[in-house]
Amino acid sequence: DAGVIQSPRHEVTEMGQEVTLRCKPISGHNSLFWYRQTMMRGLELLIYFNNNVPIDDSGMPEDRFSAKMPNASFSTLKIQPSEPRDSAVYFCASSLRASGANVLTFGAGSRLTVL
Amino acid sequence: QKEVEQDPGPLSVPEGAIVSLNCTYSNSAFQYFMWYRQYSRKGPELLMYTYSSGNKEDGRFTAQVDKSSKYISLFIRDSQPSDSATYLCAMTISGYSTLTFGKGTMLLVSP
């Protein structure tokens, strides 16, 4: 398996522009997570899906952020309009949710810079 | 008080040293404790995890959990320059719960 695949790896955009980040989870995993990582705040959970259904989006900072998972093999995180404070590394992770430890496999991340 | 506390470092050690990385937590309901390693400009990858209290060993790495003190540790023996990375602790109540991460400790192992 190729692991969790994220695109783009780097995105530089101007304030006010729409940004779309994409994620392909590991085949067979039933949970998908979007995290944001900054030096100040570390890894923050934005939203997670279970069987393609959003379960908890309480970490989404504001209405400018939205996430979708139209099928088991694809998810998007959209920021519209983007602001400089959104600059961070965004990680997608997937897991097979079951009893026992919820072991997450992370993608390589999408580094976003909003000018 | 944050739910999981971790010293950000950096922690600098010479090659061959024994490294101790630690986290404290406040939620006594946590049952599963994990250590992730994150190389620069990469995603975190799972190193090892333990359930409840006790020790777990995997090669040069040993994870320890002391639930009575709400304190977990990761020991690295015979540290190598390739161990230079940020180490994040994470914990959860069950396989159906989300992970709570520490901010990570940056480790630098010099040759």
B98 confidence band (pLDDT: 50, 70, 90): confident
Of A33, A97, A105, the CB nearest to B96: A97
Of A56, A101, A111, the CB nearest to B32: A101
To the nearest whole number, what is the mean pLDDT of chain A? 94
Left (φ > 0), alpha (ψ -120 to 50) or beta: where does A41 sit?
alpha
B97 confidence band (pLDDT: 50, 70, 90): confident
pLDDT at residue B35 tops 70: yes
A101 to chain B, any CB pair closer than 8 A? The answer is yes
Distance from CA of A110 to the nearest CA of B (A): 10
CB contact under 8 A, B42 and A108: yes
